[in-house]
Amino acid sequence: MAITQAVRKFVRQRAYFAYEYCGVRESDSGGQLTVDHFHPLIKGGDDQPENLVYCCIHCNQYKRDYWPTAPHHPHLWNPRVETAVAHLLSLDDGTVSPLTAIGAFTIRLLHLNRSALVAYRQKRQQEILQATTLRQLRELTQVYEQLLEQQLRLIAIQRRIIEEQQVVLQQLLRSK
């Protein structure tokens, strides 16, 4: 049974248009890529959506038709079952580090620290930092504007008080 367009669309949307193993977004790669059978068809997998992973061509090529054939064979992280943070730790330098044996095997098999991915993650971290800084700058600007408005109101009140004091002082001086 072939994967239908409807199923392919579902898999893409479920993955939020990002490749589930490496995290690269479709918009950053320039288009759609591939739907992979986590449990390969030739090793007994099926076309059910639970067995389909949206991934880039590189991860798919590195994974090939890997499937553990004995209990002692290493297992690959399944993004359909667990989040990446259960097995992988993203580091500030753009690399990922394993938290588990599954994470270590996944990094090794899919080459998740290949230079293009590391550069991509560094760029994403920079974009996130810039977006956060911009958001904070906007928030600070709003606070500053609110403080200026409050200061202008206080200055207006202070002027009225001074004017009232001048009137009172003039009346006191006249009454002497």
Considering the chain, what percentage of its residues have pLDDT values greater than 90? 91
The more confidently predicted of residues 176 and 166 is: 166
Q: Which amino acid is at 40?
A: P
CA distance 144 to 138: 10
For the whole model, what pTM was predicted? Answer: 0.75
The more confidently predicted of residues 28 and 149 is: 149
Q: Is the pLDDT of residue 1 over 90?
A: no
Q: Is the pLDDT of residue 120 over 80?
A: yes
| Residue pair 33/15 in contact by the 8 Å Cβ criterion | no
Residue-wise pLDDT for 39-90, tens only, equals: 999 999 999 999 999 999 999 999 999 999 999 999 999 999 999 999 999 9
Task: Say what the pLDDT of residue 30 is.
Answer: 81
Task: Say what the pLDDT of residue 176 is.
Answer: 77
The β-bridge partners of 34 are 55
Task: Say what the pLDDT of residue 164 is.
Answer: 96
Mean local confidence (pLDDT), 113-137: 96
Burial class, 45, CB count within 10 angstroms (exposed 0-12 / middle 13-18 / buried 19+)? middle
